[in-house]
Chains A and B, each alone.
Chain A
Amino acid sequence: MPSVTCWIRAMSAPDQTILSVSKLSSAVCAKPVLAVRDVSFELGAERLGIVGESGSGKSTVGRAIMRLLPNSARVEAERLDFEGAPLLDLNEGRMRKLRGHKMALIMQDPRYSLNPVLSVGKQVAEAAKLHLGSGKREAYAAAAAMLERVRIADVERTMRLYPHQISGGMGQRVMIAMMLLAKPAVVIADEPTSALDVSVRGDVLKLLDELVTENNSGPVLISHDIRMVAAFCQRIPVMYKGHVVESLTRLEDASHPYTKGLIAAMPDPRHPAKRLQVLDRKAIDAAEARP
């Protein structure tokens, strides 16, 4: 069972950002902003689902673990171990061997995250070539098998298509096929379904679920949709302004005003309300200020 222990403290250095945020108060720029602070979790058998609004730092956690943050960002961790070895001490070459092979990141929008100038077959086969060391023919066979596994109809034809010629749901399946081909130990899915229709969202999640169970991988699902995460994950850290406000196992146990607000903000036609509840940020900050 893979086990990742992570305790991240990331800072974005101010020097690169001064230009674009000049209209904001200068205090933000003068001091480094902690995008993520003191986040701790262990990934093992449990499915982990990180929930939060945009800007809460949830994607930064995913990228920090993959060491994909720009050089201007500082990542500090008391411990950030992958299979017992500290990730932060690895050099870039070793890290490249891990990425895509042992740790995979599934990104949000297949329209932007697939390579637009490579055919689908070539992209998926590339994963086999790089990480499994297969030859060209083997790699294509592995790619075809994997695409079939993610339930793509007419694999032969699809492999010749380019990303713009396939639908969003299909693109996300291709992405999943590419990422899970090497059977990674850790799969980080950053908003894997936000760009998709509600009707295909369920299929994609089910597929992801099936494959991570089959490969015995540890999945981390990152999303703003707390209801969806709760349906898929056993442990749900809720992030607000860069840190975890509470870690839930069931939605019913939510006690922090932020988590409650997130749940109440979702429209539910079974219990119609005239107005939706919005986050009471003052109350949340007050709750945060209390020790």
Chain B
Amino acid sequence: MIEVENLEVAFGKGDDRKQVVKSVSFKVAKGETLGIVGESGCGKSTVLRSLAGLDRHWTGRIALAGQDVAKERTKQQFELAQMVFQDPYGSIHPRHRIERVLAELLRAMQRGEGWDRVVPALERVGLPAAFAERFPHELSGGQRQRVAIARALMLAPQILLLDEPTSALDVSVQAEVLNLLSDLREEQQLTYVLVSHDLSVIAHMCDRVLVMKEGVFVDELTPEAFRGGEITQAYSKTLFEASFL
């Protein structure tokens, strides 16, 4: 579903040039969930932003659903992959009602007004239809993150890119949101790329985990490795131990 070859991202020019992602390659099969774990600043979110088409600084090859994408995407290509951001307080327009937040995507893609699609979208993520008329500040953090997920699903993408979707949430709400994501993945055969610094969240959700450090992948882990605690690579081990303080 996703193929990435020699992806490199650098910001700045001349002496200030900083290579954030250094030639990474990976593939994600349809229906699979890939996790990328690492400390802040390791480049994991940048990989995700390049996949989503938000950053255009990258070089290399990215293919979504068997189709190579350029830095400038067409509408169809944008519809393939949608993103859910970390902070539900910052990622939803504070002065728009939820219905407008959700319908806006369809209008932007010239697929009609979209008002009729709002209620089903809310129900899909387990929110009551009455929430359509609310403003973001009238919702809790977990509810907002559900809205962000509903928004990402509005265009029926095949790929969902999740950037720390539960880091801003309490553990009890985190469990609800992670369950919702698992259910949606099953219902709609979605492919996920999940980025987080919390190995316990990643290990719970993912079929395969890549450990990223300073712009490169240093290790690949499987759920079996977590279960048995068989983690040999030194950096992965420190991350694993830090998650179970």
- Whether B178 and A276, one on each chain, are in contact in the complex, defined by CB atoms closer than 8 angstroms, is yes
B223 within 8 A of A: yes
- Whether A227 and B204, one on each chain, are in contact in the complex, defined by CB atoms closer than 8 angstroms, is no
List the A side residues contacting B198 at CB < 8 Å.
Answer: 198
Give Cα A226 to B141, complex, Å. Answer: 19
- Whether B178 and A227, one on each chain, are in contact in the complex, defined by CB atoms closer than 8 angstroms, is no
A167 within 8 A of B: yes
- Whether B170 and A197, one on each chain, are in contact in the complex, defined by CB atoms closer than 8 angstroms, is no
List the B side residues contacting A227 at CB < 8 Å.
Answer: 244-245
A202 within 8 A of B: yes
Interface size, B (range): 35 or more
Give Cα A200 to B197, complex, Å. Answer: 11
B239 within 8 A of A: yes
- Whether A276 and B242, one on each chain, are in contact in the complex, defined by CB atoms closer than 8 angstroms, is no
B175 within 8 A of A: yes
- Whether A278 and B204, one on each chain, are in contact in the complex, defined by CB atoms closer than 8 angstroms, is no
Give Cα A270 to B201, complex, Å. Answer: 12
- Whether A272 and B203, one on each chain, are in contact in the complex, defined by CB atoms closer than 8 angstroms, is yes
Give Cα A269 to B226, complex, Å. Answer: 6
List the A side residues contacting B138 at CB < 8 Å.
Answer: 23
- Whether B171 and A224, one on each chain, are in contact in the complex, defined by CB atoms closer than 8 angstroms, is yes
Shortest beta-carbon distance from B218 to chain A in Å: 14
Q: From DSSP, what is the main secondary structure of chain B's interface residues?
A: helix
Q: Mark B203-245, 1 if CB is under 8 A from A, else 0.
A: 1110000000000000000010011010000000011001111
Give Cα A265 to B226, complex, Å. Answer: 18
Give Cα A126 to B173, complex, Å. Answer: 39
List the A side residues contacting B171 at CB < 8 Å.
Answer: 224-226, 262, 265-266
Q: Mark A268-291, 1 if CB is under 8 A from B, else 0.
A: 111111111111000000000000
- Give the nearest-CB partner of A203 in chain B: B242
- Whether A198 and B197, one on each chain, are in contact in the complex, defined by CB atoms closer than 8 angstroms, is yes
B199 within 8 A of A: yes
User: Can you report 21 residue pairs joining A to B where beta carbons are below 8 Å apart?
Assistant: A23-B134, A23-B138, A54-B140, A197-B39, A199-B238, A199-B239, A201-B245, A205-B245, A224-B170, A226-B171, A231-B245, A262-B171, A262-B172, A265-B171, A267-B201, A269-B223, A271-B227, A272-B203, A272-B204, A276-B175, A279-B175
- Besides the known contacts A277-B175, A278-B175, 8 further A-B residue pairs in the complex with CB atoms under 8 A apart: A53-B172, A53-B173, A199-B239, A261-B172, A267-B205, A271-B227, A272-B226, A272-B227
4 nearest A-B pairs in the assembled complex, by CB-CB distance: A269-B203, A267-B204, A269-B226, A265-B175
